[in-house]
Structure 1
Amino acid sequence: MGDQGRVRVGVSGWRYPSWRGDFYPRGLVQRRELEYIGQHMSSAEINGSFYSLQRPSSYVRWRDSVPDDFVFAVKGPRYITHMLRLRSAGTALSNFFASGPLALRAKLGPILWQLPARHPFEPDVLDAFLTSLPRTTGEALDIARGHDSRLEGRVWLEHDEDRPLRHSIEPRSESFADPAFAALLRERDVSLTVADTADNFPMFDEVTSRDHVYVRLHGSQELYMSGYTSDELDDWARRIRAWADGSGSPDGRPRDVYVYFDNDGRGRAPHDAVALEERLGA
């Protein structure tokens, strides 16, 4: 394919009752649902980590359920983004990285940080947070060692090799339309999530990371609910190819692209992911 980024398409989470007997074959046991995802997609977003710290044993189980070239994105804790509002997050970051993401090893992809709509663009706060983020798994391991006593007995403090770590921010406030925000992300090499939210929140589509683009498709007509039409999927496929080959980026540089469908309310997400992946040959 020449000089081109790798495209990965998947879903945000995979344990949804409505998928059983629909996307998942009837009778497929729940513990094999992620394995089934791995047979049909190249990536998945772990979103349980947004609601609570997961256990290392869960990350190990997920890692071992999918093929070697499968990659997980991991959603950062809402405790950091929604409760601490990115402030004084040192210990919380330590607890998050100690809770098991590093157990994914080579299957650990980007970390997503989703901000609530009520969170305005605060340059100094955001810059301090982005500066504190680890850029390699080795740095993440160093941060993880600062975990507090609540995690004793359920930590993962090892990694097999030092790998780069990618981060993406998904803001939901119009105040992030400030050009200073995109400039800050470029300076810190963090991607600005391209989020389709049926116009419930602004869609930002500037390319800010040097090596990747992160896309979340929550539904084009009804948030979390509506499926994507054939024409809409064709359009997204064109945009994704352009980011991957560099023609859709100001600097012409090819980038890896991660795409996750979060329109799971009526079970459309996995079907749309497979349909998009087929268009892309991802």
Structure 2
Amino acid sequence: MSTHIGIGGWTYEPWRATFYPPKHPQKRELEYAGEHLTGIEINGTYYGSQKPESFANWAASVPDGFKFSVKASRFCTNRKILADGAASVEKFLTQGLTRLGDRLGPILWQFMATKKFERDDFARFLDLLPECQDGLPLRHALEVRHESFRDAAFVDLARERNAAIVFADSDEFPCIDEQTADFTYARLQRSTDDVATGYDDGALDHWAGRAREWAANGRTAYVFFISGAKVRNPAAAQALLARLQPSG
């Protein structure tokens, strides 16, 4: 079973009192997160380009086997006609993210809640997403947030391209529970502040079971605790990791 469990980003002031040890150097927070989690979703790339050296430094800060997912630029996905985004997609993919090397996990393409499914345009958008970049294989995860995507045509398009439909457990957005790729990408967004681990034992047991299902038959599962009570997400990720450790 191959799973990567983590959080969104690693720089968040409240974590300095709840996740990182007291007086832990801020410049070594990623190193610490890499020792206690197995994945991180990089969100800063959604808002702007990063330097190639930054990706290389991030890769060097985490151990073998750790994976980063990278959230695609909003300029790729927040547009009326997705197929017109070729230049933005190219700019995003060539900013240096392949400097992550074997630490590179899936790329997350997140769409606005107002974006409706239009089959032909979405198919043309998927045509813009390459299978590799700089010789490095790419995996693509699609987070759609409008009910119109509950459409067999969308599921078929994703499956044809080996693109994962993100399993988004959220109070705000639809959850499309379909396996369309050789990996699974889940974003769990219901952590609560009144539980030290964000989720109670029953919920964590449930997600451990789902993670095992998602990682079955040779697939890899990426599970990120996002939003909700953000301060609790590192504890939630660690609690889930503990449940997935081999017994004995």
State whether TM-score is above 0.5: yes
- Mark the CA change 1:103 to 1:266 in structure 2 (over 3 Å): closer, same or farther: closer
- Is contact 1:9-1:260 (8 Å) kept? yes
In angstroms, what is the RMSD of aligned CA positions?
1.8
Residue 83 of structure 1 and its aligned partner are, at CA, apart by 3.6
Residue 263 of structure 1 and its aligned partner are, at CA, apart by 3.0
Paired residues, what number?
243
What corresponds to 1:215 in structure 2? 186
Letter in 1 for 2:223: V
Q: Give TM-score scaled by structure 2 length.
A: 0.93
Question: Secondary structure of the equivalent of 2:40?
Answer: strand
The whole-number CA distance in structure 2 between the counterparts of 1:56 and 1:275 is 33
Q: Which of 185, 189, 193 is the aligned partner of 2:162? A: 189
Q: Does 1:21 align with 2:22?
A: no
Q: Give TM-score scaled by structure 1 length.
A: 0.82
Residue 85 of structure 1 and its aligned partner are, at CA, apart by 5.1
- Is contact 1:196-1:220 (8 Å) kept? no
What corresponds to 1:249 in structure 2? none
Residue 186 of structure 1 and its aligned partner are, at CA, apart by 0.6
- Is contact 1:237-1:276 (8 Å) kept? yes
Structure 1 stretches (4+) deviating beyond 2 angstroms?
83-87, 263-266
What corresponds to 2:151 in structure 1? 178
Q: Which of 145, 162, 177 is the aligned partner of 1:205? A: 177
Residue 254 of structure 1 and its aligned partner are, at CA, apart by 3.3
- Is contact 2:191-2:229 (8 Å) kept? no
- Is contact 1:56-1:103 (8 Å) kept? yes
Residue 227 of structure 1 and its aligned partner are, at CA, apart by 2.3
What corresponds to 1:144 in structure 2? none
The answer for unaligned runs of 5 or more in structure 2 is none
Identity in percent: 43
What corresponds to 1:52 in structure 2? 48
The whole-number CA distance in structure 1 between the counterparts of 2:70 and 2:127 is 19
**Residues 118-157 of structure 1 mapped to structure 2, 5 A cutoff:** 118-136=114-132, 140-141=133-134
Bigger share in strand: 2
What corresponds to 2:226 in structure 1? 262
- Mark the CA change 1:215 to 1:236 in structure 2 (over 3 Å): closer, same or farther: same
Question: Secondary structure of the equivalent of 1:87?
Answer: helix
Residue 220 of structure 1 and its aligned partner are, at CA, apart by 5.8
The whole-number CA distance in structure 2 between the counterparts of 1:264 and 1:66 is 26
Residue 264 of structure 1 and its aligned partner are, at CA, apart by 6.0
Letter in 2 for 1:269: N
- Is contact 2:192-2:228 (8 Å) kept? no
Q: CA offsets, 1:190-220, max 9 Å, x none?
A: 000001112x1111111011x1000001116
Residue 61 of structure 1 and its aligned partner are, at CA, apart by 1.3
Letter in 1 for 2:137: P
The answer for unaligned runs of 5 or more in structure 1 is 142-161, 246-252
What corresponds to 2:4 in structure 1? 8
Letter in 1 for 2:239: A
Q: Does 1:236 align with 2:207?
A: yes
Letter in 2 for 1:90: A
Letter in 2 for 1:196: D
